[in-house]
Every structure is written in C-alpha cells, then in structure tokens.
Amino acid sequence: EKELNIVNLPSLEAEAEKIIPKGGFGYIAGGSEDNWTLKANTEAFNHVQIVPHVLSDIEDPQTNTSIFGIDVKTPIMMTATAAQGLAHAKGEMDTAKGIAKAGALMEQSTYSSTSIADTMAAGNGAPQFFQLYMSKDWTFNESLLKEAKQAGAKAIVLTADATVDGYRESDIINDFQFPTPMANLTKFSEGDGEGKGIGEIYAAAAQKISPKDIQRIKDIAGLPVIVKGVQSPEDALLAIGAGADVIQVSNHGGRQLNGGPASFDVLSDVAKAVNHRVPIIFDSGVRRGSHVFKALASGADMVAMGRPVIYGLALGGADGVYSVVEHLNDEFKTIMQLAGTKTIEDVKHAKLLKK
Ligand code: FNR
C-alpha cells in the first residue's frame, strides 16, 4: 500500500501487467475484436487542439466542481468497472477509499467483487453511484436498486450499451472465467432452494433495454438515473425524453461495439443536442490532463476513467488509486494554467481548434 510515483497514466498498464494474472489482465486491458475502437478512443483527443489564452492574469487554477448538487474536488471520476478483485484483494473497497481521499466520485458496478454496502462504507460517506446491469428478472433489479438506495448511493447508472458482451478475443484466448462469488449476486445464488446460480443470473441479463425502463428504475430506486453508453444526439434526446437525469457518453472503453466511433469524436454533437438540459459524464480513453480539458471544453461536466484506476489499485491499493487521480488532476491543472483558465467553468468555455 503506497502512493505511486507516476510519470504518466499510459505507462501504468505495463507495470500492472507484471502483477495481475494473465487472464485477469487480458479482461481488464482488452477491447473487442481487433481493438480498433479501443485504440481510436485515446487517439481521438488529437482531433482537436487547445487554443491557449495568454495574458490571462490568472494563477492557481481550481478544479473543484459539482454535479446535481454533489460537490467534488475534481471533475475526474471513477467509472463502473467489474470485478476489481482481479487487481487487488480488497477490490472496490480500496478503490472507494482512494477515490474518497482524492475528493472524487465513483460508480460501483453490479458485478463488483465487494458488496454495495461494504464499498459504500469504505468510502466513508464519499459520494458514489450504483451501476445496474439490468436483468429480465425484476425482483433482481428491484432488490439491487433498493439496496443501493439504502446504502446511500446518490444515483443509478443504467448501462445501455451491453445487451450482449462484445466479442473479446483475449478472454477466449486466455479461457478467462469471471471470478465468483460476486458480492452483489451471492444472495441470489445461495442454495436456499429458491436462489439462482451465477450462470442463471448471467443468462437472465436483459438483452433488450427500452426507454420505459428508465422511468421504471427511477420509480423503484427513487434516485436520479444516468444513462450510460450514449453515442448519438438522437439517443441522448430519446433518453432525456424518457426521464434520464444525466447522460454518460461512453463506448464502454472499446469493449462493446468495435467499429463504432471514438467516444470523444461524438461528444460535442451529443452536448449540442443536450444543450445543458442535463449534465454529461464522459468516458473512454481518457489518459492525460489535456484529455480532461478537451472533454470539458467539448461539453462534458465530469470526466471518468476506468483502466488507469484499476492499474493504480493493482500497484498500490487505495493509495495507488488516490495517486492516479491526483496525478491526472495535477496534469490537468498544468493544462488549465497554460490555457489561461482559472475554473472548471472557464474550461467549459475554452476554445478548441478543429482542423
Ligand atoms: C468496464 N466497464 C464497465 N461498464 C459498466 O457499466 N459496468 C461494468 O461492470 C463495467 N465493467 C468494466 C470492466 C473493466 C475491466 C473495464 C476496463 C471496463 C466500462 C467502463 O465503465 C468504462 O466505460 C471504460 O472503462 C472507459 O474506458 P477507459 O477509461 O477504461 O479507457
């Protein structure tokens, strides 16, 4: 357990590969098919440039911001990722600790290694959202949603881009088996005569999600719903019309539809259509302070990342997670200063050049 000496986030992947078992590493690092969309995600940030504002008379940029009334120290947050026990024995509990120490926000996955309540408690009151992989079985959905609300989750993330898993070749090559038990599923899989096995739970995962499910989830949870995996202006408007309180622009880190656009390339069109009606969380491919800046200047309110945080967890537990967020926030602050922006609001109004 140590704070990490980080030069940059991309270099963490090779470090983490040395300590995470092969199957687990392939599952974390991989995308789908030939990884085209995975690679495009990070490259896409080069499609626009930051035009600096000099003589700006500013110093000491401030990264604090808020999303629907939740104050955070940084717009950088942790997105939902499954099975963090693959990276570290304490799994999501250490992630929650590190994220809380950084004053940031996190999403918990349905398929977490540690339970909703334990992960929430590890964050010691820091704000968290619960991500739902919707099941055809609404007793399952209802039970998890109520548990999340009870544990203090501030919102539900409905992942809409995973009605089947993408074709992930590294998992096939490594014959990767998802680790069990999964904390949130054990009460459904225990042998009480009525419980289901993990395989049955997977088989019951919803292969179709419709706009009306958004309101149904809102009604059950009594919490705002974030629709995750949106990549087009039309779908953003569809989701908002159906009750979405937040849009999460994401292509699941290139793990689902390969051949789809880089997440960053669709962000500004989605933001224009949303037109500030609801906040936007952005993820997929974020590795640099300049990426955070460009996403905010393109219409995002919060910028989330997945893999780099998992690598920080593997390399240093809670302090590793903290170090990853701190490092990226420091890079981002340098970009803010050089661009002549003092606040997150300034960044959102900064000028980008598109050639
Ligand atoms: C994910 N992602 C994901 N999304 C989700 O809604 N529920 C989940 O359980 C998971 N699980 C998951 C596991 C792993 C190992 C990864 C890498 C990703 C997708 C995730 O929320 C996010 O969209 C991407 O991770 C963003 O891309 P980067 O930051 O990893 O490039």
pLDDT for 265-322, tens place per residue? 999 999 999 999 999 999 999 999 999 999 999 999 999 999 999 999 999 999 999 9
pLDDT for 171-208, tens place per residue? 999 999 888 878 998 888 765 445 567 777 878 888 99
ipTM for the whole complex: 0.99
Alpha-carbon 251 to chain mean position: 11
Annotated binding-site residue? 250: yes
- Give the pLDDT confidence score for residue 178 in this predicted structure: 85
Residue nearest to atom 15 of ligand 1 (CA): 28
Structure tokens of 67?
A: 């999303």
Mean pLDDT for the stretch of residues 86-95 = 97
- Asked if 79 and 304 touch (Cβ cutoff 8 Å), the reply is yes
- Asked if 131 and 108 touch (Cβ cutoff 8 Å), the reply is yes
- Asked if 162 and 133 touch (Cβ cutoff 8 Å), the reply is yes
Q: What is the 3-state secondary structure (H, E, C) of the chain?
A: CCCCCCCCCCCHHHHHHCCCCHHHHHHHHCCCCCCHHHHHHHHHHHHEEECCCCCCCCCCCCCCEEECCEEECCCEEECCCCCHHHCCCCHHHHHHHHHHHCCCCEEECCCCCCCHHHHHHHCCCCCEEEEECCECCHHHHHHHHHHHHHHCCCCEEEECCCCCCCCCHHHHHCCCCCCCCCCCCHHHHCCCCCCCCHHHHHHCECCCCCHHHHHHHHHHHCCCEEEEEECCHHHHHHHHHCCCCEEEECCHHHCCCCCCCCHHHHHHHHHHHHCCCCCEEEECCCCCHHHHHHHHHCCCCEEEECHHHHHHHHHHHHHHHHHHHHHHHHHHHHHHHHHCCCCHHHHHCCCEEEC
Residue 80 CA to ligand 1 center (angstroms) comes to 6
Annotated binding-site residue? 311: no
Q: What is the pTM assigned to this prediction? A: 0.97
Q: Pocket of ligand 1, candidates 156, 158, 255: which has the most ligand atoms within 8 Å of its Cβ, to mutate? A: 255
Token pair 């038990």 in the structure block, residue: 181
Q: In ligand 1, which atom is closest to the CA atom of 28?
A: 15
- AA identity, residue 123: G
Predicted confidence (pLDDT) at residue 224 exceeds the cutoff of 50? yes
d(CA 202, CA 322): 32
Mean pLDDT for the stretch of residues 7-14 = 98
Residues belonging to the active site: 252
Predicted confidence (pLDDT) at residue 64 exceeds the cutoff of 60? yes
- Give the pLDDT confidence score for residue 190 in this predicted structure: 62
Annotated binding-site residue? 277: no
For the chain, the average pLDDT equals 95
What is the chain's Cα-based Rg? 19
Cα angle 43, 251, 266; round to 5: 65
First to last CA, the chain: 45
d(CA 11, CA 2): 17
- Asked if 98 and 319 touch (Cβ cutoff 8 Å), the reply is yes
Q: Which residues are near ligand 1 (CB < 6 Å)?
A: 27-28, 41, 79-82, 109, 111, 131, 159, 228, 250, 252-253, 255, 283-286, 305-307
